[in-house]
Structures are given as structure tokens and as C-alpha cells.
Structure 1
Amino acid sequence: MNVKKRRLIKLLVAILLAGSVYITFLHTKIHTFSHREVLKEADYLIILGARVKGNVPSLALQYRIDEAANYLKENPMTIVIVSGGKGPGEDITEAAAMQTELIAQGIDTSRIILEDQSTTTDENIKYSKQLIPADKEKGLLVTNDFHIYRAVKIAEQYDLDIGGIPAKTPGVIIFKTYVREYMAITKFYLWSLFR
């Protein structure tokens, strides 16, 4: 084997090792943030939007709604901001779909605030922040477990000291969502450097 080939192999091995270390770092962050203790008696929740199929929440979004509904039933003074606009293939906004499902689970409409313009996690948090009543300080983001870390870090960029309620991730999309999340976190890191 000539010198050039040996150098190439060493370079590829170094890249693979560095990539493995980086993915392990990201996965550890995701795991740690999704297993933090959930704040009791929060003033408000923000449910982050996810895909709606026509007017029916995707399974990932339904898990978020269910977790939020359970928390709201146990904490009757907590209000909720449902956050998500209308994307391709959606007949209604994600916020409207969440509102309908929460009402069906017994949550009073007076406790639900709609944010129906956002199309990204960043916008979910940015626009929802504008709707948080002035007297509400302690908050929680409701999203799938893989998404808690990035969502909380984005919220920090908007001066929100907020925790998370992790909803489970549907088994059939775990691999795809984690790969996408690793890329999204990397993009967030790069964006933060130049903000």
C-alpha cells in the first residue's frame, strides 16, 4: 500500500471516529434533557406543532397533545399555548388541530391560546413567547423526547427559562427523526455561532 492510500485511510478513520464521538455527544444531550424532572404547577405550557394529516394529528403530535392534556388535568391553573401554522397537506393549522383534541379531552377553551402562524421550532417559540401573559413565569415545552434538547436551547435564545415535558416518539419514525434531529442540532449550533 502506498503512502497516499495510507494517508487516505487514516483520514477516513479519523473522520469516522470524530463523527461517532459527535453523535454520541448529541445523543447524550438528547437523552439527558428528555429525562429531567418535570416542573410541577407550571404557569403555562407551549405545545410545539408537528404534522397534521388533513385535519388529524400525526401520531407524534397526538403524543404531545396527550401529554399536555394529562398535565393540564393535574394542574388546573396551568394555561396552554398551542403553536403551529398550516403546512403542505394540512387542511387546518396545527394549532387548531391541537385545540380540538384538547377540548375533546376535557380541557376548557378558556385555558387554550392559539399561535397559528409558525412553521418552524424557532418560530413556535418566538411567536408563542409574545402570547405568554405577563403574570405567567414558569413554563414547559411539550414535544417528543428527541426534540426537547433543541427546543429548550432555542427557548434560551429568546430569554425563556423553560423546561420540557417529553412525549414518546412513534417507533416507526425513531431512526429517521433522530438522524434529522442530529442535523437540526448541528444547524442550530452553527446558527448560534453567527447570531
Structure 2
Amino acid sequence: MNTSPEFTFDETSFDIEDSGDLLGLARSLINGQHPGILATTDASGQPQMRWMSTLSFGDFPVFHTLTAANARKVDQIRNNPRVSWMFFNKDLSLTLHLSGQASIIDDPATLKHIWRSVEDKTHTYFLNEYSHRPGFVAIETTVESIECSSPASGLRVEVPASDLCLEPATPMRATT
């Protein structure tokens, strides 16, 4: 659960040189309360995009989302783990683009841990089919770069995750 105060964007105080501001912005937009758009690549090399929610980001720059085990995006990620995510604030004045590597987690103990860390489970529509199909999996994304833009203010800044004063994150795995 995120106990930090909600980050608010103010173009007069946002410092594009301050990676802490950008990290705060990233955390506020992927806090599990805003849907994001996940882009993967299909077998023919075409981009595929879809809305995603049910997010858990406790170990940012690693974060998770849940999906049906038989979803097309699962096979797409297994074949090409490069993904992009896009998040935006409520008035669409600020866009956050995250790119990195994704992997599929299907270990039951790890899934249980991720499930518990998801704050908003109201969009787990894939669970409606749970009794008819094989369960769910988690998509684990390790962010490698962040781009923030605000067309109205002319703001555009790209920061590699290594420049965000973050310690390298360890992908989530269950411990026994």
C-alpha cells in the first residue's frame, strides 16, 4: 500500500532536472488507481495496445499487472519481452511513457503475493472466466526508461531508470 502523499503536477514548480519529481510523478500515475495502456508486439511485428488496470507497484521500477493466463498479450510478451506503457493524469495534460522488459509470472506463491499487493481489484474481469479457463498470471515489467510530456507547457523529459536514484530492483519472487 502506498502511504506517500499523492503527487500533483504544477508546471511552475515541477523541476525537470529533479529526478525525484519525476519518480514521484511516475509513482502517482501508476499507483493502481489509474488504468494504463500496455503495448506489446504480435508475431507479425505489429504493435498491439490495450487498457490495463489492477496494478501493483510497490517495488518500482518493477511493477505488476494481472491478466488471464490465456490472453494474447501473454504469448506476445513471451515471444518479445519489450513493452511500453502509457499513463496520464485525469485532465490528460500530462503523459507518462514507461518502456522496459516484461516477463510472465505464473508461480502460485508469487501470484498470491502480487494479488495481495493490488489495491483495486474491481477490474479483474478475467476472473469471471476463471472456472472455465486456466487461472491468471502476472505481467512483471522492469522499467528501463521514463518519458514525461506535457504538450500544453512544452515539457518533455526522458530519463533512464538508472538516473532516477533508484537502487536496482529485484524481480518479485515468492520466498518460502
Q: Structures share a fold, TM > 0.5?
A: no
Structure with more of its chain in helix, by fraction: 1
TM-score, normalization by structure 1: 0.28
Q: Which has the larger radius of gyration?
A: 1
